[in-house]
Chain A
Amino acid sequence: MTSPPGQVKGDGEVAGGARPENGTPLLEVRDLTVNHGQLRALDSISLRVFPGEVYAIIGANGAGKSTLLRTIAGLHRPAAGSVLLEGTDLTRQRPERRARQGIVLVPEGRRLFGSLTVEENLKVGTAYARPGPWSIEQVYETFSWMRDRRSQRTAQLSGGEQQTVAIGRALVANPRVLLLDELSLGLAPVIVQRIYGMLPQILATGLTVLLVEQDVSQALRVASHIQCLLEGRTTLEGRPADVTAEQVEAAYFGLAGVAPAGPPVEGSESLWPG
């Protein structure tokens, strides 16, 4: 599949044809603009996440990925645009209200409660949980090591274990949309593989996932739909199968207007181990 340079976005939209476009998206973001002081972190970003999808936002550092997730969760106030859950506008609602309605974020850096035990962390997750398949018992069934270590402080866990507890704490709330912010941050690749390996099991319980990932190959492996951000703007969108390495690279680094279609740029292999 060849595509003329500079038209990456148009191509991505064609790829979206396989999605249930005519249904109501579970989560919709319309023209979201967020400023951090003078800096425009997000510039009119839109996305539609349909039930059962794994929607991945990729992009380099500072592209606005985390800001996007945090704004959807209600932790940032957008300058313009709206966030809708099944057509209901949540833009004015506080983060705890959104969480109770099923938008649950696993924040960057885990953010576990350090003075609480593993089980207490999970119990905080259940405090305002919606009814659903996930319970603390179900989390222990899925991640069996956790049961044995439930009375330990989370500070005693490894990074990968902490990340799993953070996911567990979000799951017990029975979210409709699970927002995952940089699961791979600071973790060994083999641990990252293992955590992403749990995703199908989690999806099987009827969740929808919107994730942010710097590790592009990982994102492409798990996602059913990807969107690439660069400096707060969308540069590429589509199904992983329908986008080429060159397109992703151009969108990721902003080379679209610079590099003509030709031999792959040096370094693409390291970006693309899969």
Chain B
Amino acid sequence: MAWVNAIIQGVLTGGLYALFACGLSLMFGVMKVVNLAHGDLAVVAGYIAIFVITVMNVPVLWSFLIVVPVMAVLGYALQRTLIQSSLDRGVLTTLIVTFGLSVVIENGLLQFFTANSRGIGAGLPLVSESFSLGSQIQIAYLLVVIFAVAVVVLSGLQYFLSRSKYGRLIRASADDQEAVQLSGADYRHVFGICAALAFGTVALGGIAYGMYSQLSPTTGTDTILLFAFAAVVIGGLGSLWGTLLGGIVLGVAQQIGAQINISYELLAGYLVFLAVLVLRPQGLITRGAQS
């Protein structure tokens, strides 16, 4: 029964990891930007949520209505300025620039918010309570909600990319930026919209992680970014549903590792990550589902 529990917990955690991963995957799939500041931006979103909740007295569960648009606008602005100008200098430059951005964000957060970790919505029934399945399995409401949010977000993104005008332009720009210009579209604007989507999803990931666990200035790089990378690589680069599958595989591996010995939790996740890199470097789902 303990193993069944581990698998259920792992699958549900996979939803959280998919929220971390889908923005990373989107930005790489379309712009070829490996955003090393991705995790830190999730933390920034979490801190904005804390600000919105504590200072502006917005209910915890509705804070995303402010945080997601704010992060989306930030995403558009960063893409049109810093990221695009580094992209113009070559794909490798974006790696250095986003790494620098990550360092700046992390130290900025340490400076202004100290190294203390903070949670979001502690004490809220949704955040702290769980229901029982049988006698040994306890499932947190929060994880179920996060998983459902991840599925809704991925479905929405998939629908947007495949059906809408801008979704088509995003996929077309990923294929050939020059040809898109010849059809009258400014690919830099299209990339900005894509970054806005990615930042919107990472905002949800940051809020969700703040509720699920605790946020500190270093959470972005030492947890969120690494899990996002692992989920993207396991699932397959450029595939949106692959990030959910990758997240689930990572989550299950961690829970099973923890079941064997609590100190194996992270190790087991990265072993699966390495195994996929060696045995199936294209990921479990191959490119084509999205772009």
Contact = CB atoms under 8 A, between A and B. Distances in A.
A82 B176 CA distance: 27
Interface stretch (B72-80, B118-126, B180-188, B191-199): B180-188
A243 interface: no
A205 to B, nearest CB: 19
A173 B184 contact: yes
B182 A115 contact: no
Contacts of B288: 115
Nearest to B162: A120
Interface in A106-134: 107, 111-116, 120-121, 123-125, 127-129
Interface stretch (A12-20, A93-101, A185-193, A224-232): A93-101
B164 to A, nearest CB: 10
A32 to B, nearest CB: 19
Interface stretch (B149-157, B166-174, B209-217): B166-174
Interface in A21-37: none
Contacts of A125: 183
A169 interface: yes
Given A115-B174, A116-B168, A123-B168, A173 B186 contact: no
B129 interface: no
B89 interface: no
A127 B184 contact: yes
A116 B169 CA distance: 10
Q: Is the interface of B mostly helix, strand, loop or mixed?
A: helix
Contact-residue bracket for chain B: 10 to 19
Q: Which residue of B171, B176, B182, B184 has the most chain A CB atoms within 10 A of its CB atom? A: B182
A212 interface: no
B178 interface: yes
Contact of A124 (B178, B185, B291): B185
Contacts of B178: 75, 95, 107, 111
A101 to B, nearest CB: 9
A127 B185 CA distance: 8
Contacts of A111: 176, 178-179, 182
B181 A107 contact: no
A183 to B, nearest CB: 15
A271 to B, nearest CB: 31
A128 B185 contact: yes
Given A107-B179, A115-B288, A115-B291, A128 B174 contact: no
Nearest to B290: A115
Shortest Cβ-Cβ A-B pairs, 9 listed: A128-B184, A99-B184, A111-B179, A95-B181, A113-B175, A100-B184, A113-B172, A96-B181, A124-B172
Given A99-B183, A100-B184, A113-B175, 4 more contacts: A99-B184, A111-B182, A114-B175, A127-B183
7 contacts: A96-B184, A107-B179, A113-B172, A113-B175, A113-B180, A125-B183, A127-B183
